[in-house]
Amino acid sequence: MSNCRFLYHNGVVLEAPPVATFLQSLPGAYTTTRTINSGTTFLFWERHVKRLSSSIRILLDSKPELLFSSGSSSRVWINQTVHESSIYDLVNGSMSKAMRCGVVKERGRLCGEELAVTVLVTGNVEKLSRLGDEKCDQERKVVDFLDVWLHIGGYSLGVGEKAASLALVGHGRDVANAKYSDWVRLRKPLEKFRPPSTTELLLSNDGDRLLEGCVTNFFVVCRRVQRKKSSSGSLYGESLGEYEVQTAPVTDGVLPGVIREIVIEVCISKGIPYRERAPSWSERELWEEAFITSSLRILQHVGTIKVPVGSLEALACTKPEEIEWKEKRFEEGPGMITELIQKAIMEGIEEGFPLEGLV
> Among residues of the chain, what percentage have pLDDT more than 90?
56
Q: Across-strand partners of 149?
A: 120
Residues β-bridged to residue 235:
229
- Per-residue pLDDT for 341 more than 90? yes
Q: Is 135 exposed, middle or buried (0-12, 13-18, 19+ CB in 10 A)?
A: exposed
Task: Tell which wins on pLDDT, 202 or 110.
Answer: 202
pLDDT, mean over the chain: 85
pLDDT in tens, 269-318: 999 999 999 999 999 999 999 999 999 989 999 999 999 998 888 888 88
pLDDT at 80 over 90: no
Using 50, 70 and 90 to split pLDDT, how confident is the model at 208? very high
Estimate the crossing angle of helix 258-270 against helix 45-62, to 10 degrees: 120
Burial bucket for residue 246 (CB in 10 Å: 0-12, 13-18, 19+): buried
**Spatial CB neighbours of 121, under 8 Å, sequence gap ≥ 6:** 28, 29, 30, 52, 56, 67, 87, 90, 91, 146, 147, 148, 149
Q: What are phi and psi of 110, to 5 degrees?
A: -65, -30
pLDDT of residue 232: 63
Determine which of 69-73, 98-102, 174-178, 237-241 has the lowest per-residue pLDDT on average. 237-241
- Rounded to whole angstroms, the Cα distance separating 307 from 222 reads 18
Distance CA 32, CA 299 (A): 15
Q: What are phi and psi of 230, to 5 degrees?
A: -80, 175
Residue 144 has pLDDT above 50, yes or no: yes
The larger pLDDT score, comparing residue 30 to residue 311, is at: 30
What mean pLDDT comes out for the span 236-246?
A: 68
pLDDT, tens digit (0-9, with 9 covering 90-100), for 82-131:
778 888 899 999 988 887 776 566 655 656 678 899 999 998 877 766 65
pLDDT average, residue stretch 246-258 = 97
pLDDT mean over 48-65: 92
Predicted TM-score (pTM) of this structure: 0.88
